[in-house]
Amino acid sequence: MKELLNMTLIMMLLGICTYFDIKEKKIPIFPILLCVIASVGFSVYEKDFSIGGFVVGLFIGIAFCGFSLLSKGGLGLGDGMLAGACGICIGFYETLGLFFFGFLLTGIVGLVLMAGWKKEMKAELPLVPFLYVAYSILCFFSYK
């Protein structure tokens, strides 16, 4: 039950953030906080809350926010907060897999755009839509 709830929460969160990432090029904080609160609240209710899992999830978010600062905005702070929320909700390894496949899809589309439409190397692509597609594929192949 918890796995299905967290999958649903992350799909909804990625869907909402995809809309804002495409339309406004910003990721709203409120849905991220709501998702984390719902996931932690359900874990506490089910007596399945792990402080270690929570800390590891936060570590992923902090690491991605650090990458954001190092890349001078190439990866946004909203992406880092989203990574932290995913880490808290679905776990460390699942979040790493999600972001690996999301970055892979982004890179493939970027290469196709540069080769086919002569886009510049500095052209920006929103990350969250690719995370949404990657998570959809991962859920399809991993749901039991």
Diameter of the chain by CA atoms? 54
Rounded distance between C-alpha atoms, residue 76 and residue 65, angstroms: 7
* C-alpha distances in Å from residue 52, one per residue of 49, 58, 60: 9, 10, 13
Question: In Å, how far are 33, 47, 89, 112 from 139, measured between CA atoms?
Answer: 22, 25, 14, 26
Q: Is residue 144's pLDDT more than 80?
A: no
Q: Which residues contact 68 (CB under 8 A, 6 or more apart)?
A: 74, 75, 76, 77, 79, 80
Question: Residue 118 — pLDDT band, cuts 50, 70, 90?
Answer: low
Q: What are phi and psi of 76, to 5 degrees?
A: -75, 160
Q: What is the tens place of the pLDDT at every residue in 7-60?
A: 888 999 999 999 999 999 899 999 999 998 998 888 888 887 778 778 888 888
- The structural domain count of the chain equals 1
pLDDT at 115: 80
Q: Give the pair of three-digit tokens for residue 110.
A: 């970027």
Domain that residue 45 falls in = 2-142
The pLDDT tens digits of the residues spanning 66-109 come to: 888 888 767 888 888 999 999 988 888 888 999 999 999 998 98
pLDDT at 112 over 70: yes
* Segment 107-135 mean pLDDT: 83
The Cα-based distances of 117 to 37, 105, 122 in angstroms read: 42, 17, 14
